[in-house]
Amino acid sequence: MNKISYPQQSYKDCKQALNNYWTAYNDLVKIKGCNNKICKPQTLKQSHKGTMLLLIKAYAAMLFDNNRTFRDMPEYRELDPGNLPGLFTNRVKISKAVGCSPSTAYRQIERLQEAGMIIDKKFHGTRRDFELFINPDLLLIIDLLNPNYTPNSPLLSDDPDTHFRAIADALRAKRSLHNIRDNNNNLTSTVKRSDGTSPAAVQESENRSTPGVNTKSVNRQEGEKNNETTGKNTKPAVSCPPGSARPPQKEKPDLDWYKERFTNWFIGLMIQVLYAGRNIYPGEELAAKQYFKEIYLAKVTNTSQLGKLELQFKWRIHAVERYCKNKGYKIENYPRRYLDVNNYRSGFTQTRDWYLKHIQNLKRKQQISIKQKDHRKLMRYFNLMLDNWGSLSTYNRCISGIRDKIPHLEDDFNRWIQEGKMSDHTRNENFAQNANKYTDNANKYTDNAN
């Protein structure tokens, strides 16, 4: 099969194929006497269809990023339509895109896998990250360099029987992949015994014939007895034969790998946001990446610092975007010169002060809001004390609440209580004096007006 030189997903055809698959699968489930081995007796909901559509969009974004990364290396852009790569994702990303909890998103992925829309799922490292292999009939990819190439899928036809056969083939392919995997998600042996049967098939038939019995322990005990009597190992051959070297384990990525990935992300974001619609020379982009990694990431010692820098640089890039949009300013077409730390007047360095000022404003607003909340609480106790003036129990209740919630304002409350301890006669005299002052001022204003 010819490889695709410049792959791009045909979203219109993918959506049509998904609609046909979803409709045909639900019709197949509703048919009376449907075989449970072919399809699960549960219809797919609209939410499952939306989740699958988001996965198809994510696959299109993955192809776009791959084409952009290897735009100068066409041999890495090629894609085999018979062996499509998987989609790397996790339940958190899917839940944020769909708008549900991670557990709900994972259950939807399992339901799509049961329906045959997802052929296989592989876990990498922890069970949080996994690779999804989408049904190739749902991924219709065209070649931008070859307009004569057209993707074929039985789901694009108008015949419902063709859709049913495509669904049956997808479920059969999923079941065959599931049967060759054991409980540890490893491939089992395909070596046949002398009687022509494979060990996996015999063990599966024994498991079905003896329900309710722990067949693993029984088989292990029988194997130990056979080893003691015959002195031979009756275990099936493994994928790695004895005497051969064990395959090397995949090493964990080091800090340089994370720095390289962070550099590619930042330069890509900067070019996409600040240089939108402009062509950047590959040499200038490569020089910007090298300078950014050597200067901006020189003091980074762990991945947690990269996480903090990601939030900071992302805010600074979008701040420059807002500034250019409001002022009508246009950055020159040289990313390496813009990242120069000595270019303080019109470079990326000046945005560091913007970010520090932004953080200070956030802290100041937070402190002001805290002070306002504390003073509101204090005013509640003031009003409670005014309503029950002279009550010792009310005073004790207010003091206990202040010591519990706003202990730093206890002195202010006591000072207000001491100033308010005056007789009614004194308070009335003060009120009369203030009232006379207000009336005298009012008479002056009226005389001047006349």
Q: Mapping DSSP to helix (H, G, I), strand (E, B) and coil, where does residue 3 land?
A: coil
- Per-residue pLDDT at 202 exceeds 70: no
One-letter amino acid for residue 273 of the chain: V
Q: Answer left, alpha or beta for residue 413, where phi above 0 means left and psi between -120 and 50 means alpha.
A: alpha
Residues 171, 39: contact at Cβ < 8 Å?
Answer: yes
Q: Which residue has the higher pLDDT, 95 or 191?
A: 95
- Per-residue pLDDT at 90 exceeds 80: yes
- List, in sequence order, every residue forming a beta bridge with 141; answer none if it has no partner: 9
Q: Which of 208-222, 236-250, 370-384, 421-435 has the lowest mean pLDDT?
A: 421-435
Q: Which of 74-88, 94-108, 226-240, 322-336 has the lowest mean pLDDT?
A: 226-240
Q: Domain boundaries in the chain? A: 7-186, 255-346, 361-449
- Per-residue pLDDT at 311 exceeds 80: yes
The pTM of the full predicted model, rounded to 2 decimals, is 0.41
How confident is the prediction for the chain on average, in pLDDT? 74
| pLDDT band at residue 102 using 50, 70 and 90 as cut-offs | confident
State the pLDDT at residue 126.
Answer: 57
- Cα distances (angstroms) measured from residue 433 to each of 420, 437, 439: 17, 6, 10
Q: Mapping DSSP to helix (H, G, I), strand (E, B) and coil, where does residue 122 land?
A: strand
